[in-house]
Amino acid sequence: MSTILQGFTWSQVWWVMGPEIVLIGGGFVLMLLDALLPPGVKRATLANGLGVIALAWAGVLVFRRFGHTAALGPGSYVLDDYALVFKLLFIGITFLILLLSVDEHGQIDVARGEYTYLLLFATVGAMVMASSVDLVTLFVGLEILSVSSYILVGVRKTSKSAEGAMKYLVLGAIATACVLFGMSYIYGVTGTTNLAEAGYALYLAWDSYRAIVVIGMLLMLAGFSVKISVVPFHMWAPDVYEGAPMPITAFLAAASKAAGFAMLIRVFLYGFASHFPEWGGLWIGIAAVTMVVGNLLAIVQRNVKRMLAYSSIGQAGYLLVPFAALTGAYHGGNLLQGLSALYFYLAAYALMTAGAFAVLTVVAHHARSEDVDAFTGLFRRSPLLAGAMTVFLTAMAGMPLTSGFTGKFFIALGAINTGYYWLAGLMFLTSVMAFAYYFGLIRRMYLQEPYGPPELWGTPATVALVVAIALVGTIGLGVAPGVMMHSLPSLNWFGQ
């Protein structure tokens, strides 16, 4: 069902933006509670519970809208299955992050009132990015996500947290300036901020204004590349990941990266598709270099957070492969396969990442360290945590029967189908490189004796729930990928 909602009545806005309205309303309610509740009340714990309720409500609204297509006004903000699958992913990730934020005493580990509502606002920003087909609304969503993330990184007021937040703020501001400057070039050539209209105008103006258009697109791509941390715009990620609280690191690695790819698809595949194949060499180069550099630098890391940060950079390279493959044969069938493979791997990566950081949260709490030595003898302290971490690490590396292997297989298959055999081979090679540092950590867990008394380590119930959900998803999508891959191609992705 497809409709264009020219007016802005409450019912029309609610139908298109209902999930966002719920989360925004929930965030403002939490702000008022944080300001008005008496000192004895555990504001953060109460806010966390209300945040989970708001996310559940928003998730139900997203489910109810599948199969429907609508747009507000001239089409600057749309409701389609493409936006809905990403919104579902963002809500799911934030739900896991809020569960991960509760410590063993049932209290919020990051005990600040603004923590939960900033997470809700960041999620809204990501959802706006997925639904925007206008450069202005896209920029608004990007800024909501970015500003909320800057604050969340520095919420703990430690020296590392402050350093990470400052680096993230400065580089993020530069990236934002690049995006806005690039958008101004596109607007100057096309006279519109609507992506569909701008794409058609660029097709007509390409020969006359090619240099200006290329500069504008390159500026936008540079800014977007900072957000998804691909080489050479990746240097902020290790310091920010190390300094941020553990749940926020997981949020940046999963939700923020997924939002960046949702934005890339909207702009370059939906809006500027007419000349997308001409950018083949650039996409291929970025994907290849990112895969190699991310995995190479991860090998030498001693801090597990930094290791996972460089691993995240390498994963961004894998996620760029569908973009590169589409430049070789850009048509409906390959586009559908590429979008399905990319979303499948994003969902798998989010589960793997949430699970790995959940285990790291427990280990860092007991060992008072995020170094690789903290995992020494983990199997003797907590066999279940060691087993779960083994699954998550091998899935990231691409071990068969895990979602990581299945996702990489679908992406590599798309590259092979479009003739990029060497790119699929590079994916295999860099996955082998990843086994070096992942299995180094696994070896420590099983083959070395723990330091100090080998007492058993407990796991908070909510963190154990996150580990269980991530474990079931990681194995389930690896063993039975058809559950998702059969439904994704049947979606009405862009309402067409």
| Residue showing tokens 């970015």 | 146
CA-to-CA dists, residue 281 to 49, 234, 286, 362, 423, angstroms? 48, 20, 9, 43, 12
Q: What is the pLDDT of residues 187-240, one digit of tens each?
A: 888 888 888 888 788 878 777 888 888 888 889 988 888 888 888 888 888 888
Q: Is residue 495 part of a domain?
A: yes
Residue 484 has pLDDT above 50, yes or no: yes
Q: Report how many domains make up the chain.
A: 1
Residue 121 has pLDDT above 90, yes or no: yes
Q: Which of 62-71, 141-150, 209-218, 483-492 has the lowest mean pLDDT?
A: 483-492
Using pLDDT thresholds of 50, 70 and 90, give the confidence band for residue 126: very high
Q: Is residue 494 part of a domain?
A: yes
Contacts 24+ apart (CB under 8 A), 26-35: 26/50, 26/51, 26/53, 26/54, 26/117, 26/120, 27/54, 27/117, 27/118, 27/120, 27/121, 27/124, 28/117, 30/113, 30/116, 30/117, 30/120, 31/114, 31/117, 33/113, 34/113, 34/114, 34/117
pLDDT of residue 216: 87
CA–CA separation, 326 vs 369, rounded Å? 43
Q: Is residue 80 part of a domain?
A: no
Q: What is the 3-state secondary structure (H, E, C) of the chain?
A: CEEEECCCCHHHHHHHHHHHHHHHHHHHHHHHHHHHCCCCCCHHHHHHHHHHHHHHHHHHHHHHCCCCEEEECCCCEEECHHHHHHHHHHHHHHHHHHHHCECCCCCECCCCCHHHHHHHHHHHHHHHHHHECEHHHHHHHHHHHHHHHHHHHCCCCCHHHHHHHHHHHHHHHHHHHHHHHHHHHHHHHHCCCEHHHHHHHHHHHHHHHHHHHHHHHHHHHHHHHHHHCCCCCCCHHHHHHHHCCHHHHHHHHHHHHHHHHHHHHHHHHHHCHHHHHHHHHHHHHHHHHHHHHHHHHHHCCCEHHHHHHHHHHHHHHHHHHHHHHHCCCCCHHHHHHHHHHHHHHHHHHHHHHHHHHHHHHHHHHHHCCCEHHHHCCHHHHCHHHHHHHHHHHHHHHCCCCCHHHHHHHHHHHHHHHCCCHHHHHHHHHHHHHHHHHHHHHHHHHHHCCCCCCCCCCCCCHHHHHHHHHHHHHHHHHHHCCHHHHCCHHHCCCCCC
> Quick check: 395 and 403 in contact, CB under 8 A?
yes
Q: Is residue 227 part of a domain?
A: no
Q: What is the pLDDT of residues 58-69, one digit of tens each?
A: 999 998 888 778
pLDDT of residue 111: 53
Using pLDDT thresholds of 50, 70 and 90, give the confidence band for residue 103: low
Q: Is residue 293 part of a domain?
A: yes
> Quick check: 474 and 408 in contact, CB under 8 A?
no
pTM: 0.90
Q: Which amino acid is at 182?
A: G
The neighbouring-strand residues paired with 69 are 2
Q: Which of 248-262, 302-316, 411-425 has the lowest mean pLDDT?
A: 411-425
| Residue showing tokens 């008005």 | 36
CA–CA separation, 338 vs 411, rounded Å? 7
CA atoms within 13 A on the CB side of 286: 26
Q: What is the pLDDT of residues 411-458, one digit of tens each?
A: 888 888 877 888 888 989 998 888 888 888 899 888 887 777 777 888
* Average pLDDT, rounded, for the chain: 84
> Quick check: 221 and 193 in contact, CB under 8 A?
no
Q: Is residue 313 part of a domain?
A: yes
Q: For residue 329, which phi and psi values (nearest 5 degrees)? A: -155, 85
Q: Is residue 332 part of a domain?
A: yes
CA–CA separation, 90 vs 98, rounded Å? 12
pLDDT of residue 105: 42
Residue 412, domain extent: 272-496
> Quick check: 290 and 310 in contact, CB under 8 A?
no
Q: For residue 302, which phi and psi values (nearest 5 degrees)? A: -100, -30
Q: Is residue 346 part of a domain?
A: yes
Higher pLDDT, 350 or 108: 350
Q: For a pLDDT cut of 70, what percent of the chain falls above it? A: 91
pLDDT of residue 104: 46
> Quick check: 76 and 132 in contact, CB under 8 A?
yes
Question: What would you report as the CA-atom Rg of the chain, rounded to the nearest whole angstrom?
Answer: 22
**End-to-end CA, the chain:** 10
